[in-house]
Amino acid sequence: MNPLLILLLVPLAAIAVILWLPQICPKRTTVTAFIVNFAISLGLFFQFEGGSGFQWVLKYPWFNLPNVAQVNFHLGVDGISLMMVFLTTLVSLASVWVTSAVVKRAREFFIYILLISLGALGAFLSRDLFFIYIFHEFALIPTFLMIGIWGGQNRQFASIQMTLYLALGSLILLAGIVGLVLTQPLDSRSFDLEAIQQIHVIDEGIQRIIYPLLLIGFGILISLFPFHSWAPTGYASAPAATAMMHAGVLKKFGLYALLRLLLPALDSGADYWQTTLLVLIVGNVIYLGYVTMAQKEFPLMLGYSSVMHMGYLFLALASQSLIALTGFVLLMVAHGISAALLFALSGELQSKTGETRIASFGGVYTQAPFLGIMLLVGSMASIGLPGLANFSGEVLIFFGAFKSHPWVTIVCVWGVVISAVYQLRAVRLICFGSVSEVTAKLVDLSSYSARFPYLLLVAASLWIGIYPQSVIHLVQPCLEVILNGGGR
């Protein structure tokens, strides 16, 4: 059987087991499913033959929309989507492993986690734009539900705000996708990405209309400034597993789709709206960087930090440089790993102490050395310390973007200083100093089983940080095809 299809069937099988065999432990079933998928993704990585083409392709005609387009169930991976599949399976496994006992509606909780992972995998594996959109929307629904049911104190407000923002973004995005498909000749219209990228050249006037629809639609999903306010509140109110999956994986969907669509199909539209995008990028990095510095609660600080770092990724897209786009893929994966690690640690601290305020902690390294070390490593990765994955991506983005946008790049480099300020301050207040009353409640993770997901995320960050060439040689041939207009 095609391994890509197996990746989608494994979560469905786990959901069936949880539903039909209530005596089975839902967490153990979910962990088993995610271990299988993580092993498959590693197998795909080592068996991938390189080059720019898609491998393990599976294509079945699905249905035909009269006078609109043909829809196909079309799966395949190239170097870029392979790395996103690896990220999805890695964060999925870590997110469910760090989840402690769920008292309320446990079976539903783990079913929703499986659905989020299924939707993310489907979006990254699909080669048909219709299914890319459907799978992503499919993953968002359980995200809203998890925040509303198992979230923190502000869960109702956060889930409603997130629902309204992302629903609006999805509608704008749908309008852009429909417009993109309708630009094709009637006799050859298709949602297939190859068809969109290769068959036709879109009129510049039409590109100028479609581009902002896709940029705003995806931008809301990614939390591009000024459409960002839903994200920090949503992450701070979400269960740790949900925050890990959304910040670490689902947010990358919009960036991944923009890379696939905007550069090969809408290059003229990108050039026309470039100045506007650069202004928004500065807002993401500088304005939100200072907002992050002002946060007093650790989950909110991590939420704003995650939004801030999206500015670097948009800078890579705006540069349209091979070097910067290579860093773009590296940083997507690296940010997903570091964000998942930090949200997991935030959830661990909150669940054991009931506290989220940074100033209330102190002496975590003394009381719980393992948690303190993991928090230090996660913070250093977020800052961009050499040897960890984020550094490789950020450096390539800055070098690649400097030639085309020197002043904006210099401004964005200042964001690294800002992130160092708030992350190092948080580490100092939380990890060091005397043990506070709040920190005294902490019990360190002593078993290998409890430590495993954190160590797995750190190992992945070290692997990419020390040997980024293992990823670069996979993604650069694909990026060259995208920059050449999808092979037109």
Residue 434 has a pLDDT of: 81
CA distance 314 to 302: 19
User: Could you tell me if residue 351 is inside a domain?
Assistant: yes
Query: Residue type at 465?
Result: G
Instruction: Give 166-215 pLDDT, tens digit per residue.
Output: 888 888 888 888 887 777 666 666 777 777 766 556 777 788 888 888 88
User: Could you tell me if residue 285 is inside a domain?
Assistant: yes
What average pLDDT does the segment 95-109 reach? 80
User: Could you tell me if residue 464 is inside a domain?
Assistant: yes
Instruction: Give 355-380 pLDDT, tens digit per residue.
Output: 888 888 888 888 889 999 999 999 99
247 Cβ neighbours under 8 A, 6+ residues apart: 231, 235, 302, 303, 306, 336, 339, 340, 343
Residue 335 pLDDT > 60, yes or no?
A: yes
Residue indicated by tokens 């902002």: 212
User: What is the greatest pairwise CA distance in the chain?
Assistant: 72
User: Could you tell me if residue 469 is inside a domain?
Assistant: yes
User: Could you tell me if residue 346 is inside a domain?
Assistant: yes
User: Could you tell me if residue 33 is inside a domain?
Assistant: no
User: Could you tell me if residue 226 is inside a domain?
Assistant: no
User: Under a CB-based contact definition with an 8 Å cutoff, are residues 217 and 72 in contact?
Assistant: no
Instruction: Give 221-259 pLDDT, tens digit per residue.
Output: 888 888 888 888 888 888 888 889 988 898 888 888 888
User: Could you tell me if residue 324 is inside a domain?
Assistant: yes
More confident residue, 355 or 390: 390
- A 10 A CB-CB count for 437 gives 10
Tell me which residue range forms the domain holding 366. Answer: 273-488
Query: Quick one: tokens of 397?
Result: 């983005």
**What distances in angstroms separate CA 452 from CA 95, 249, 409, 456, 458, one per listed residue?**
11, 20, 38, 6, 10
More confident residue, 469 or 265: 469
Local confidence band at 488 (pLDDT 50, 70, 90 cut-offs): very low
Q: Please report the DSSP string for 391-430 in residue order.
A: HHHHHHHHHHHHTT-HHHHHHHHHHHHHHHHHHHHHHHHH
Please, what is the end-to-end C-alpha distance for the chain in angstroms? 32
State how many domains the chain has: 1
What average pLDDT does the segment 142-171 reach? 81
Region of poorest pLDDT, from 10-14, 153-157, 278-282 = 153-157
Instruction: Give 48-79 pLDDT, tens digit per residue.
Output: 887 767 888 888 877 766 666 677 788 889 88
Query: Residue type at 119?
Result: G
User: Under a CB-based contact definition with an 8 Å cutoff, are residues 74 and 131 in contact?
Assistant: yes
- A 10 A CB-CB count for 21 gives 11
User: Under a CB-based contact definition with an 8 Å cutoff, are residues 349 and 355 in contact?
Assistant: yes
